[in-house]
Amino acid sequence: MPLARIDVPAGNTPDYRATIGAVVYDAMIETLKVPKDDRFQIIAEHAPGGLVIDPTYLGIQRSAQCIIIQLTLNEGRSVEVKKAFYVAVAEGLHARLAIRKEDVFINLVEVKKENWSFGNGEAQYA
């Protein structure tokens, strides 16, 4: 059910992008309890100037390598579950790709179940 949009600075390898996608997917399964094979991701690279990210908002020191991860998902998860997801992604990216935790920006967009069509012009969850 989640749709992940992952935006990264240009200049990284396909393996780098694939690993980011895998870390996000693993964290979705582990913490958000999404169904297996529920993997829909858009991973886009952006040239310099294509990602405008404040380098110091809320006292967090972000570098030019900051990535943005946005998940659209069904509403209803607790704050504790969301926090666990944020930690799992940041720690997973740091462990597997040495991405600084400060450079992992995550946004969740919650929607009602009837807002999805996975194909055939049907609202499978409605």
Domains and CATH numbers, the chain: 3-65+74-115 (3.30.429.10)
Mean pLDDT, residues 13-37: 96
Say how far apart CA 75 and CA 29 lie, in whole Å.
16
Q: What is the pLDDT of residue 77?
A: 96
Answer whether residue 1 shows pLDDT above 80: no
Say how far apart CA 123 and CA 126 lie, in whole Å.
5
pTM of the model: 0.93
- Of 66, 71, 70, 69, the closest CA to residue 101 belongs to 66
Say how far apart CA 43 and CA 50 lie, in whole Å.
14
Q: Count how many Cα atoms sit within 13 Å of the Cα of residue 114 in the half-sphere of its side chain.
A: 1
The tens digit of pLDDT for each residue in 74-99 reads 999 999 999 999 999 999 999 999 99
Q: What is the pLDDT of residue 125?
A: 85
Q: What is the pLDDT of residue 28?
A: 97
3-state secondary structure of 68: strand
